[in-house]
Chains A and B, each alone.
Chain A
Amino acid sequence: MATIASSYNPREIDNTADIPGRRAPLITGNQTYKSVTEMVCRVAEDPQPKIWWLLFGFSSLTALMFVSLIGFLIYKGVGIWGNMNPVFWAWPIVNFVFWVGIGHAGTLISAILFLFRQNWRTSINRAAEAMTIFAVICAAIYPGIHVGRAWLAFWLLPYPSLNLWMWPQFRSPLLWDVFAVGTYASTSLVFWYMGMIPDLATYRDRSKSPLRRMIYGLLCLGWSGSSRHWLVYEKAYTLLAALATPLVLSVHTVVSFDFAVSQLPGWHTTIFPPYFVAGAIFSGFGMVVTLLVPMRAVYKLENLITLRHLDNMNKIILATGSLVGLAYATEFFMAWYSQNQYESFTFINRAFGPYWWAYWIMVTCNVISPQLFWFKTMRTNPLAMWIISIFVNIGMWFERFVITVTSLSRDFLPSSWGYYRPTMYDGLMFFGSFGVFMTLYLLFCKFLPTIAISEVKGVMSSSAHSEHLQAELLGHGHAGEHGSHGTGSHH
């Protein structure tokens, strides 16, 4: 059996080369089932590195600040924000859409790539799903505290009211949003949890302390790995993937309806649903790269989250970034082609009006920076892709800012125009939401399986992805003696 020492190869192995007729290996370093288990479990079992404690300390303090600011907001009222006539949908909604958009990558990777049989998803889906859950939590906070009387946010739900004797308005996109985000959050949560059950059992069986064993035992519901259980489990997983695929596309569609169903120029367009979904996938993958590049370095997971995984994700970022660029261009074309003076004004105002800086930050980050991914050297350089992914995150935040604020600040009536200025609380709370996100993510790394161990083993056993063959065909010498179960030479 290979030990960690021999299975971990700190040198980046380039598995991005394609050989016609062959599939590239999904994981590198001649892994065995045992070495995969140990590599992943080590993340939670070993003491966390210093950088973890530093980040955790910082982000938990930031999260604490966020919670305190929410308390202050509830005490003082939404007047502490910069929301002011005519821009009443300002940063809170921008941040909501930003976080919900980020939350799209996880389920996309788990569900859509599963249905497309993209086996490379197995190394990244767990972390991406966790990221989805935490991003949706951050997103859900914003409408909750934006409603003014946050303690009455439950009025959004269709419950038998004792006092009002009335029901919500089901023809309002804002209510669709409640259902869409609520369904997405809860479905993603059970999807994530169900995927973790076998891995939690692995954690349980490796636990030394009885308390840890009991907690993981409870969490994995006493999973034994029975083949009869696996049969039902796999069926449930496939069903969930098939259900989550239209769901993930519907969520940002419904979020875009919040804007598109209104009458405001710049919002009232039919391109919004596909445009928002493309942007959501774009921003979600951006955030996955932002998180996974440092994570694989810190936890030495380069053999599981290989360059090929990052390469694939960067290709998706390039594709969706270009789609978003196409959407920007289409909006301008429609503004001209419709010959609608309000529509034309809105888009000229976006690019050259008082918020020109936001618009051009958006275009630079979202359309121009991903174009660097046409070059393979950029797609396979962790530092370069990390920087570009940060730009993508910034750009996608500005996209929501541009859509929300420029349209609201200058609508049909010039006498009601205004210029939006955020306050200190807007900025601190947005920053604080990152604290919540990072705190949850770091806790996830410490306590839960960061990589879908059983799924990685499942694709290892398939003879399609043979590292030996790849190495031989490429003429590399790093293929070991044996130990991989993916040789296909058995029997």
Chain B
Amino acid sequence: MSEPKPRKSSEPKAPRSFGWMAEFSDEHALLDAAKKVRDSGYTRTDAFTPFPVHGIDEALGIKPTILPFIVLCAGLTGLCTALLMQWWMNGVDYPYLISGKPLGISPAAIPVSFELTILFSAFTSVFGMIFLNGLPRFSNPVFTNPKFDRATNDKFFLYVDARDRYYNRESVRELLGATHPESLDEVIEDSTPASIPKPILLGALLLVLAGLIPAMIVLNMRAGFSDLPRWHVWFDMDFQPKKKPQQTTTVFADGRTMRPQVTGTVARGQYTEQDPFYLGWDPSKLSAMEGSNPILVSYQDGAPQSSPTQSSTPMADGGSAPAPKLPFITQLPIEADEEHMKLGKAKYEIYCSACHGYSGFGDGLVATRAQALQQDTWTAPTSLHAGRVQIQPVGQIFHTITNGQGKMAPYATALTPKERWAVVLYVKALQRSRNASIEDVPVEERTKLTPAP
């Protein structure tokens, strides 16, 4: 491709001569002629043959090619690429620990390294050959002579280029003529050179540029940041044909995607939700309750925190929302013995007495102090001896301790269920003690009592 473009240097009238071409019908005649031409000192020579003729390189003085060296470099590049790629991808950028095999380069890297070495070398061999030969070259002066079509069939051509240092039109003709060729022609320029039309070239250029657009988009996305959802060609697993809990479906008769549990199953973590000991009320009696959905009510009312508007309004009785309507149990699930009473007393005095007071009148130290400060955000604690508290079943008191009520915090995390029941026992005892009549005292003990002052 280094030759000057013939079209530009040509003169309008006389077609430019590129040299002489002699035609032979077998390779031996060609070799003899080539040796003569070489011995005459011409170097810009070439032969055109249907197959690689052995000995022609020597006969024409063609130098060996550097292709093997290029291919060697390509092969080494392929090897290094493969090793670096595997080391970086599996050992550095995304360490892929599997079966305890070493990260990065290990014997398992051999197959891919081998294949890439071959791949790089093979492609370099082919494209190196094409590049070193100056191909593709569609417009070639030698193609102008129709006889030359047989150079790929059964004829052998010897060519001396006009740009040779010693080129002389007549002497070259004489020299080639002396080799007894079948024919001898002057190679003249192509009057209608084949070239790719401009619109096609332009179209190809546009195609190449358009082909770069996706690559630029990808590069931009990798380098930049965006708040928008990722842009996908294929929606990998982002959108799956599946149903989520609160959606509807046509698969089941009830139209719900969430399925009720099979009767009798207890799911992990659900055990405590079934047992009155942990709840204070009996779930099995829930359906017998009247009114609106009691579960919903219980969840709303039993919420540990009330809204700010409620808490900012002081209430006389210290309560806020109405008490939940649940099937509370009325019997203590623990023994009402001395041990539990002592436990309940201890826990009550640690956790409850600060607000409710040691005797349960809502006069604990914190409450007293808050009232002294006259903070209007303070809601006075409920007196455990108020009438509506006294009539509460034990289950409801347990529920209040567990979940809190109004401003009172839930104590489920501070007290175990057993401790909570012990506190309920103690509260019940307090209530009884503060609202007792003489009938509550055993007969034999009544005499020991002295009348109140």
* Chain A residues close to B by CB (< 8 Å): 1, 32-34, 37, 151-152, 158, 160, 162-171, 173, 175-176, 179-180, 182-183, 186-187, 190-191, 193-194, 198, 201-202, 204-206, 217-218, 221-236, 239-240, 243-244, 246-247, 250, 254, 257, 453-455, 457-458, 461, 485, 490-491
Contacts and interface: CB of A to CB of B under 8 A. Distances in A.
A244 B122 contact: yes
A151 B234 contact: yes
Contact of B51 (A169, A455, A491): A455
A1 B234 CA distance: 63
A231 B48 contact: no
Nearest to B93: A167
28 contacts: A32-B154, A33-B50, A158-B89, A167-B96, A168-B89, A171-B98, A190-B122, A191-B126, A202-B152, A202-B153, A205-B150, A205-B151, A206-B149, A221-B135, A223-B135, A223-B152, A224-B142, A225-B48, A227-B62, A230-B49, A231-B64, A233-B133, A235-B65, A236-B125, A239-B71, A239-B125, A247-B118, A247-B122
Contacts of B387: none
B312 to A, nearest CB: 50
Nearest to A251: B115
Given A33-B153, A190-B123, A222-B140, A234 B52 contact: yes
Interface in B26-68: 26-28, 46-54, 56-57, 60, 62, 64-65, 67-68
Nearest to A176: B111
B114 interface: yes
A246 B222 CA distance: 39
Contacts of A171: 90, 96, 98, 101, 106, 108-109
Contacts of A152: 234, 236
A170 B109 contact: yes
Nearest to A247: B118
Given A183-B119, A187-B119, A194-B126, A250 B111 contact: yes
A222 B49 CA distance: 14
A208 to B, nearest CB: 11
B212 interface: no
A230 B139 CA distance: 19
Contact of B28 (A186, A201, A491): A491
Interface size class of B (residues with CB under 8 A): 35 or more
> Which 4 pairs, one residue from A and one from B, show the smallest C-beta to C-beta distance?
A167-B89, A33-B154, A221-B136, A236-B129
B138 interface: yes
Contacts, number: 219
Given A227-B60, A243-B125, A485-B26, A170 B49 contact: no
A233 B129 contact: yes
Contact of B115 (A222, A239, A250): A250
A36 to B, nearest CB: 8
B112 interface: yes
A187 B78 CA distance: 14
B230 interface: yes
B132 interface: yes
Nearest to A204: B152
B119 A166 contact: no
B133 A183 contact: no
B89 to A, nearest CB: 4
A186 B123 contact: yes
B114 A454 contact: no
A191 B122 contact: yes
B277 interface: no
B122 A231 contact: no
A243 B122 CA distance: 7
* Majority-rule SS of B interface residues: helix
Interface string B258-272: 000000000000000
Contacts of A223: 135, 152
B218 interface: yes
Interface string B64-86: 11011001000000000000011
A244 B121 CA distance: 10
B289 interface: no
B126 A193 contact: yes
A225 B152 contact: yes
Contact of B230 (A158, A163, A176, A179): A163
Given A170-B90, A230-B52, A461-B53, A224 B129 contact: no
A218 B126 CA distance: 16
Contacts of A198: 50-51, 152
B137 A221 contact: yes
B151 A160 contact: no
Nearest to B121: A243
Contacts of A250: 111, 114-115, 118
A170 B95 CA distance: 11
A291 B90 CA distance: 44
A168 B90 CA distance: 8
A180 B111 contact: yes
B175 interface: no
Contacts of B26: 485, 490
Contacts of A234: 52
B118 A243 contact: yes
Interface in B342-359: none
B221 interface: yes
Given A201-B152, A244-B118, 10 more contacts: A158-B85, A179-B116, A187-B118, A202-B152, A204-B152, A222-B136, A226-B46, A236-B125, A250-B118, A257-B111
B5 interface: no
Nearest to A152: B234
B65 A231 contact: yes
Interface string B86-114: 10011001101010010000101101101
A243 B109 CA distance: 19
Nearest to A452: B51
B409 interface: no
Contacts of A485: 26-27
Nearest to A202: B152
